Amino acid sequence: MKRTHDLLLTQVNNYLASCIECLNVKIKNNEMKRNKSILLNIFCLVCISLIYTSCGEYEVPVEYMTPIDIGGVPEAYASLNENEIIQIPIKFTTPCDSGLMSANYQVVNNRVSNTSVVSGPKISIPINGKSVNTTINVPVRCGMMGVVISIYDKTGKMSCKTINVKKVVPSNENVKTLTDVVMSTDPADNQCFFSLYETNPVFGVATGLTKQDRIDFILANMSGAKPISCHAYSASSSYYSAAKPYLLGFTTLTYSFISSSKSYITKEAFDAIVKEADLKKFLDSTVIGPAPVGAKYNLINADRRVGDAFSAVGTNINKGFIIGWGYHTSPVVTTTSVLNESFALVMVKTVTKKTNGHYIITFDVKAPVADQRASYNASSIVPYDPYPL
């Protein structure tokens, strides 16, 4: 039994080794940018290698993979524009009588550096017995290398399909700008939810219940005005206590990345951003980039869902932080995986404290013009024990 398995594993490992050797040559020749698909293929092959390594006593038949049908979608795109959506129809039927165990896709991104590949968390694809018949919509962002689709049957066999993206053309649209946005931690003020791409981006609890999948963050009172991703409502008992009054009755909790205040997000830098290309340059050089110019802050897979508590009352506060959209594993899983792909800058301008102890803040925002919230709800969660809503 094991002989067939070992032969297949040897073939996979040999091919993997040859790809790595080829990749090393390309790096030396400074051709990495033209060979992103090699990295993505290596990622997929590593997954395959690990799967077959783990099934030591299972005899792998010659027809070890059933092809995944993705319709007319090409397996490689020479170029895509940022903010496009790749629609991928997925059709698959397993010959395994026991049916399918799971199906998922992962987005792969190398925006941090050409030699650093970040694979997003596995996003579930619905299955129906022995079949998959659905369409996934994947947003295109800078650094995107492609999508890996994996389907597992109940005997442990896997089918895999990769869609490579060789180049993403950055958007040069004017940024979306919001000025003098006012939010309050007081539920009575009906200003505790923020949804950047809504016509009215700030609203209260009653409206929030009807727009659960549109929320970017809530502003909770935690000894100051603290922006919190709904996804982080139970990050600790104190977060749960602070978030519950705003989220009571919610069944959908969206994910957003939220950074702490950053000294390098100055008013001058914020004001200088006019186009999405300016925003990308600032993030790539000043935030993600290495010293001495950059802070070397890896936004792409930073696991942070809460901001600072703004409590220092005053005007001309001028403290900036970053919000982002992407993919995050459920808080109930053991191993966290994060891929943040799109970002906005928030500049807090004023903070006031009400007599009842609640806080009001005023801020400006600069963000991509396309609706990022609509593209990134795949990581939304439902309330879970022991943190009911």
Choosing from 169, 198, 233, the residue where a domain stops is 169
Q: What is the pLDDT of residue 117?
A: 86
Residue 294: both structure tokens together? 């950059």
Verify that 254 and 303 share a domain, yes or no.
Answer: yes
CATH code assigned at 132: 2.60.40.10
Indicate the helix (H) or strand (E) that contains 37. helix 36-53
Asked if residue 61 is part of any domain, the answer here is: yes
Verify that 125 and 184 share a domain, yes or no.
Answer: no
Q: Which residue has the tokens 């940018």?
A: 33
Verify that 201 and 96 share a domain, yes or no.
Answer: no
Verify that 108 and 187 share a domain, yes or no.
Answer: no
Answer yes or no: is pLDDT of 50 > 60.
Answer: no
Asked if residue 182 is part of any domain, the answer here is: yes
Verify that 121 and 265 share a domain, yes or no.
Answer: no
State pTM to two decimals: 0.83
Choosing from 138, 169, 200, the residue where a domain stops is 169
Verify that 164 and 227 share a domain, yes or no.
Answer: no
Verify that 29 and 7 share a domain, yes or no.
Answer: yes
Work out how many domains the chain is built from and give that number.
2
Verify that 146 and 235 share a domain, yes or no.
Answer: no
**What ranges in 180-236 are assigned the alpha helix state H?**
205-210
Choosing from 169, 189, 205, the residue where a domain stops is 169
Verify that 206 and 110 share a domain, yes or no.
Answer: no
Task: Report yes or no: 174 and 369 within 8 Å, Cβ to Cβ.
Answer: yes
Query: Measured between alpha carbons, how far is 233 from 377 in angstroms, rounded to an integer?
Result: 16
Query: Measured between alpha carbons, how far is 376 from 324 in angstroms, rounded to an integer?
Result: 10
Domain containing 269 equals: 176-375
- 334: Cβ contacts below 8 Å, ≥ 6 apart: none
Verify that 157 and 263 share a domain, yes or no.
Answer: no
Asked if residue 387 is part of any domain, the answer here is: no
pLDDT in tens, 101-155: 999 999 999 988 777 788 899 999 999 999 999 999 999 999 999 999 999 999 8
Asked if residue 204 is part of any domain, the answer here is: yes
pLDDT in tens, 263-299: 999 999 999 999 999 999 999 999 999 999 999 999 9
Verify that 203 and 351 share a domain, yes or no.
Answer: yes
